[in-house]
């Protein structure tokens, strides 16, 4: 689960108010030829924006052959080699360092932005207390969606899920596939934590959660917004619609949230997740029961996956927290 309503505590004081955001740099990070068609679709979607971004950046995550091909295929795009540690966080930080726009946006290499995506993102920066904006991430299913897959767990495949606000709202952090921040926020807060985030096909994540918490704490009275009108379509490949991937992703989320809570504190890292468990998931169970009563027997399977998903995520979180505590104790002797 990656995007949740804002419940962070009062941030620390900061300096002057930011100027209006008028220019946009977009960073796409890529690491494998397996997604080349998706990368091409992502770049094409950015070329078709009603507000054309002033700068397009593609960062190759330690894949020299991919970088060479990208430079040939996309002459209008600044193609760079990641200078950070291997992984998504290091690649994103490379893009930030090369960005020149007032706002730096990130689009996944397997996502395609709607034509008004850039315009919608920038419009949400009209208030100068807004330091970040995320958009809606809609699934583009490459295989039939399983009937057992609950709406509340679409975060498993990196998409917006049931329970998120449906209008422009303050959130704690955006979904990484479709997010943006003022460039000067990175100057003040630093970049994404390279010890977190995805590495290749690894299902870990939450680096955008940790960064968002850190950025908000450094800017008094700041907000991060969800703008559902800034939409992208995120590819959901066949390998991601299996129960095995669902379970692996839930466990990875639990481990990642444990790392975030260690860095940012449990209150900021988990209060919104508690609300998700208290409110969103019970509604999903009730919806499943209603579906069963109407003859949709797959509703029972969706209830089962909600219960299994929250159990796996919670167990992985507690296990990682215990490991972290034991490591700290061992380090102290």
138-179 pLDDT, tens per residue? Answer: 999 999 999 999 999 999 999 999 999 999 999 999 999 999
| Topology of the domain comprising 4-241 | Spore Coat Polysaccharide Biosynthesis Protein SpsA; Chain A (3.90.550)
Rounded distance between C-alpha atoms, residue 125 and residue 131, angstroms: 8
Residues 219/127, Cβ–Cβ less than 8 Å: no
Tell me, what's the pLDDT at 148?
98
Instruction: Find all residues with CB under 8 Å of 331, minimum gap 6, and list them.
Output: none
Q: How far is CA 227 from CA 24, 74, 88, 128, 308, in A?
A: 16, 29, 24, 16, 31
Residue 182's SS3 state is strand
200, 164, 160, 155: which is closest to 61 by C-alpha?
200
Confidence check: pLDDT of 245 > 80: yes
Residues 48-95 have pLDDT tens digits of: 999 999 999 999 999 999 999 999 999 999 999 999 999 999 999 999
* Interaxial angle between packed helices 243-264 and 266-275, expressed in degrees from 0 to 180 and rounded to the nearest 10: 140
Please give the C-alpha separations between residue 156 and each of 55, 60, 148, 292, 318, in angstroms, as whole numbers. Answer: 30, 24, 13, 24, 19
What CA–CA distance (Å, rounded) separates 107 from 66?
Answer: 18
Residue 18 has pLDDT above 90, yes or no: no
Give the domain ranges of the chain: 4-241
Q: What angle do CA 56, 62, 68 make, to 5 degrees?
A: 60
The model's pTM: 0.89
């Amino acid at each position: 689960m990656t995007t949740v309503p804002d419940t962070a505590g009062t941030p620390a004081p900061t300096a002057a108010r930011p100027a209006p955001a008028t220019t946009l740099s977009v960073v796409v990070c890529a690491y494998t030829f397996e997604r080349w068609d998706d990368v091409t679709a992502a770049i094409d979607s950015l070329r078709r924006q009603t507000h054309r971004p002033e700068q397009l950046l593609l960062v190759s995550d330690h894949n020299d052959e991919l970088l060479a091909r990208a430079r040939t295929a996309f002459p209008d795009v600044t193609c760079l080699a990641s200078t950070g540690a291997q992984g998504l966080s290091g690649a994103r930080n490379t893009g930030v360092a090369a960005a020149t726009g007032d706002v730096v946006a990130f689009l996944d290499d397997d996502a395609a932005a709607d034509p008004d995506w850039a315009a919608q993102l920038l419009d949400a920066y009209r208030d100068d207390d807004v330091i970040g904006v995320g958009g809606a991430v809609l699934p583009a299913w490459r295989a039939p969606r399983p009937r057992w897959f609950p709406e509340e767990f679409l975060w498993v495949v990196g998409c917006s899920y049931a329970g998120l606000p449906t209008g422009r709202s303050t959130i704690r952090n955006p979904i990484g596939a479709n997010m943006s921040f003022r460039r000067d926020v990175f100057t003040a807060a630093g970049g994404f934590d390279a010890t977190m985030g995805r590495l290749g096909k690894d299902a870990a994540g939450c680096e955008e959660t940790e960064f968002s918490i850190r950025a908000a704490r450094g800017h008094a009275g700041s907000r991060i917004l969800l703008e559902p009108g800034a939409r992208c379509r995120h590819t959901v490949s066949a390998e991601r619609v299996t129960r095995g991937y669902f379970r692996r992703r839930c466990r990875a989320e639990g481990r990642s949230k444990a790392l975030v809570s260690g860095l940012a504190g449990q209150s900021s890292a988990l209060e919104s997740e508690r609300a998700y468990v208290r409110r969103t998931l019970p509604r999903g169970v009730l919806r499943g029961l209603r579906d069963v009563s109407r003859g949709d027997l797959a509703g029972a399977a969706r209830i089962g996956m909600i219960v299994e998903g929250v159990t796996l995520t919670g167990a992985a979180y507690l296990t990682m927290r215990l490991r972290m505590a034991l490591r700290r104790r061992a380090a102290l002797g």
